[in-house]
Chains A and B, each alone.
Chain A
Amino acid sequence: MADRIEKTIDLKAPVQRVWRALTDHEEFGRWFRVKLEAPFAVGRTARGRITHPGYEHVEWNAEVTAMEAPRLFAFTWRPYAIDPDVDYSREEPTLVEFRLEPKGEGTRLTLVESGFDKVPAHRRDEAFRMNEGGWAQQMENIRAHVDG
């Protein structure tokens, strides 16, 4: 099973137009449904708020890792980080890459989201403890849970 998502679509718009729709923070916000505070810049965390009805309480952030006009726009983020009670900063982000290439008069856009195999840090610690002989403790926890 693949641990990545890959999608290709052909758009009836020139590469420069698509590039702007992806990398201008206001244009991005319109189709992605997020209101961003500031323009995208490599190495900077883009912050904003979801504008999708019912999710307006949700903060959105992503760290831009590449802006190579007009070919590659990439950021890391945590998909589905929409529960305000969960601290997603401890989870490993996935990498989202938009690649653009001219196709006739239009643009071929390829989206790849990868990194779903990375174990979130707190889970990794847990796995590590288990490997280090922590099974006895885990069994105790389970016993306490089912006996409780």
Chain B
Amino acid sequence: MSTASVSAARTFSAQIFSALGDPTRLAILARLGDGRAASISALSAGEPLTRQAMTKHLKVLEGAGLVSSVRVGRESRFRLEPGSLDEARAYLDSVSAQWDGALERLRAHVEE
């Protein structure tokens, strides 16, 4: 990864992790897990959430690239975008690989 794209990935991933750090939003993602687009009304049905609160959560998810919306007639429908999760995971994997290298050098240093 180039340095610029690493920085972008860091920022982007932070948004994703932040978006995921909320049980309501995780529940919304789970409901969208079948890959079908759903309206705000459909997503709010049976949930103790106002339409306004649901809209707010969906905006956070959309901002992190975890869902996308399409306009169908007068309503917006939301769909899961699983690709963004892969990007966040790739970022963590790259930091993780750096640590593997550093810890192996530490091992060589203290075990010599």
Contact = CB atoms under 8 A, between A and B. Distances in A.
Nearest to A126: B63
Majority secondary structure of chain B interface residues (helix, strand, loop or mixed)? helix
B53 interface: no
Contacts, number: 106
B102 A32 contact: yes
A116 B13 contact: yes
A27 B96 CA distance: 22
Nearest to A4: B92
A91 B13 CA distance: 12
Nearest to A17: B110
Interface in B53-70: 56, 59-60, 63
Interface in B84-110: 85, 88-89, 92, 94-96, 98-100, 102-103, 105-110
Interface residues of B, number: 36
B15 A119 contact: yes
Contacts of B102: 31-33
Given A5-B92, A5-B96, A13 B20 contact: no
CB-CB nearest 6 A-B residue pairs = A117-B17, A83-B3, A13-B110, A3-B17, A31-B105, A31-B109
Interface of B: 3-4, 6-7, 10-11, 13-15, 17-18, 20-21, 56, 59-60, 63, 85, 88-89, 92, 94-96, 98-100, 102-103, 105-111
